[in-house]
Structure 1
Amino acid sequence: MVSGARQAAWEFFGTELKRRREEAGFTQAELGSRVFVSGGYIGQFEQAIRKPQLDAARRIDGTLQTDGFFERTWRKLIDDRRYAGYFAEVVELERTATKISAFAPTLVPGLLQTAPYTRAVMLAGNPFISDDYVEEKTAARRERARILDGTGRPVYWAILHEHVLRIPVGTAQAMAEQLDHIVRLVGQRRVLAQVLPYSVGAYPLMGRMVQLMEFADAPPTAYTEAVYSGNLLDDPALVKRVQDTYDLLRAAALAPEASLALIESAAEDHRRCGSTT
């Protein structure tokens, strides 16, 4: 959840947006048409229900002639040091998404990770980092995952390549527990998981992760990640292409029941491997 101080800061953003919009003589609908979002979306900015993307903040500045005020404020508020700079905006969007669809080619998606799995990923990327740093990042990832709790959670659909199930991350026991965690989330109907098996061979988005996010009153966005960088896409044509590609992945993946059976089988394989070492 957003801390009280951060929420208060976003409420300030919204109050200033409303004040300056009214001073300029725009209705929410009129400002929205100039910023390329709906009037209802502007209203949610003003109530601090939803956070704008950077491009929207820039367009607001241009329309209201506020000399970069909203962009500067946005940059200050979105600067969450617990996350990489290119990813902090994605975390904000996840909190208001109504549906999240993820494709993971090699690693368990962050929202589904257990703490031991996250620690192993962190240490693999930098074996010299401090324990405090590892724990801070692990706690941040667990906090992100809280969006899957409660009645207001988004629909979460994950497609995992079979690599994700087979590559041992951390100890064999930790890997088994990670897969058990996914099985448990599926059983609780908090997520839907499918597996793209090795037998599919070549597949769309070879080796590339992608996450699609849909919202109640805003256009969908897509996020892709590369080496120490990420791209948040909101161009409707590009997002539509990503959605079409995700549909191809979903069609090629195993059915949910068969996927669950494969995840359970992989967990047992890791458990057996751990018991023989």
Structure 2
Amino acid sequence: MPPRRAVTGRSQEPRQRFAEELRLLRAQKGDSLRQLGEILGWDSSLFGKMEKAQTLGSPEVVQALDQHYGTRGLLLTLWELAAGDPTQFKERYRRYMSLEAEAVSMWHYAVSVLPGLLQAEGYARNLLSAGGVRGEDLTRQVEARIGRRTLLDGEDAPRFRSILSEAVLRTPLKDAGQWRRQLEQLVADANRPNVTVHVLPFSSGLHGLDSTAVMFLRLLDGRAVTYTENAHRGELIEDSGAVERLQRAYDAMRDLALSPAESQKFVKQLLEEVPCDPST
């Protein structure tokens, strides 16, 4: 069978096609992002991120857009195709990703690797390669991961706090140049007004999250949800009692971490230890 011929000239990649349709419908209706947010009751930044294909949003948001634009389920159909696209994030991440796009603040603990939002391209590529990702799939996943960093950009970006176990920073990349660039980016990220970075030194001893990488999201409605992860699986926790227990463990661990200023100094000292590229 010959390959399908493009008729409309528009993207045949599901996620991009969904974003294109959102931009076109809003332009036809003459709404600004702010007006759209006021009418539908979600933060306007969410719709901006959806139109840039940075997030898909939740089914509830898409159903509201379908009703607003009178598209009779078309947008929800496109959303389902985009959410099922194998080139995008695995199933267990999709619900989390939709919530992350709506978060007003996020706080995180890293056990062994940097969180995706703080990863430079070289670090992301090495990490995904170590997990067995290859070829075009590797390129797509690196682009998707680096694209998520835009969540931290702009005046309406959520506040993000990350506590890094010292083990994260004591596990360098084999390429000294790439490792230097990662540490430099970490220093730059820590200087963003909406980003706070702590280092949890080995000397802090044992704590309640020793083996658990965890991300907390504070949502627009005031709820908090948690995503826990290890090398083999992730779990989204929305039960308020379970989230509260994890929050208490996080708060106790945060009390053991270095201050942001001390943490900056720690990372800069590591940076000084990385061999310089002789070609620079």
TM norm. shorter chain > 0.5: yes
Residue type matched to 2:83 in 1?
A: I
The answer on whether the counterparts of 1:78 and 1:89 sit within 8 Å (CA) in structure 2 is no
Aligned match of 1:185: 189
CA distance in 1, matches of 2:128, 2:147: 16
- In structure 2, what is the equivalent of residue 18 of structure 1? none
Aligned partner letter, 1:246: Y
**Distance apart, 1:227 and its partner CA:** 3.5
Q: What does the per-residue CA deviation read over 1:160-181, in whole Å, with 9 as the maximum and x for residues that have no partner?
A: 0011111012412211211110
Q: Is the 8 A contact 1:176 1:268 kept in 2?
A: no
Q: Give CA-to-partner distance per residue, 1:199-246, whole Å, 9 cap, x none.
A: 112122112100000012251110001343211011010111111111
Residue 265 (1) aligns with residue 269 (2): yes
Q: Given the alignment, which residue of 97, 100, 106 partners 2:103? A: 97
| AA in 2 matched with 1:5 | F
Say whether 1:245 aligns with 2:258: no
- 5+ residue gaps, structure 1: 13-39, 58-70
CA distance in 2, matches of 1:181, 1:51: 28
Normalising by structure 1, what TM-score? 0.72
Distance in structure 1 (CA, Å) of the matches to 2:211 and 2:250: 13
- The equivalent of 2:92 in structure 1 is 86
| 2:121 aligned partner, one-letter code | A
Q: 1:123 aligns with which of 124, 129, 136?
A: 129
Contact 2:163 2:197 in 1 (8 A): yes
Aligned residues: 228
Distance 1:74 1:247, change over 3 A: farther
Between the aligned partners of 2:174 and 2:95, the Cα distance in structure 1 is 29
Amino acid at match of 2:117: L
2:18 touches 2:79 (CA, 8 Å); kept in 1? Answer: no
Give structure 2 stretches of 5+ with no counterpart. 1-14, 26-37, 48-55, 63-75
Residues 33-62 of structure 1: CA distance to partner in whole angstroms, max 9, x if unpaired?
A: xxxxxxx9x9549xx8694489xx9xxxxx
**2:160 is equivalent to residue 147 of structure 1:** no
Alpha carbons of 1:52 and 1:122: their partners in 2 closer, same or farther (altered >3 Å)?
closer
Equivalent position of 1:31 in the other structure: none
Task: Determine if the alignment matches structure 1 residue 109 to structure 2 residue 115.
Answer: yes
One-letter code aligned to 1:156: F
Identity %: 27
The change in CA–CA distance for 1:180 and 1:190 in structure 2 (over 3 A counts) is: farther
Distance of aligned partners of 1:117 and 1:202 in 2 relative to their CA distance in 1, 3 Å threshold: same
Matched with 1:5 is 18
Query: TM (normalized to structure 2)?
Result: 0.71
Residues 116, 170 of structure 1: 8 Å contact kept: no
The answer to whether 1:211 aligns with 2:215 is: yes
Report whether the alignment pairs 1:160 with 2:164: yes
Structure 1 contact 107–164 (Cα < 8 Å) conserved: yes
Which structure is higher in helix share?
1
Q: Please identify, of 227-236 and 81-90, the stretch whose mean Cα deviation from structure 2 is larger.
A: 81-90
Cα deviations by residue, 1:102-132 (Å, 9 ceiling, x for unpaired)? 10011010010000001111111117x21x2
- Contact 1:120/1:170 (<8 A) preserved: no
Q: Contact 2:118–2:186 at 8 Å: present in 1 too?
A: yes
SS of the equivalent of 2:206 reads coil
* Whole-angstrom distance in 2 between the partners of 1:205 and 1:77: 34
The structure-2 alpha-carbon separation of the partners of 1:134 and 1:267, relative to structure 1 and needing over 3 Å to count, comes to same
The CA RMSD over aligned residues, in Å, is 3.2
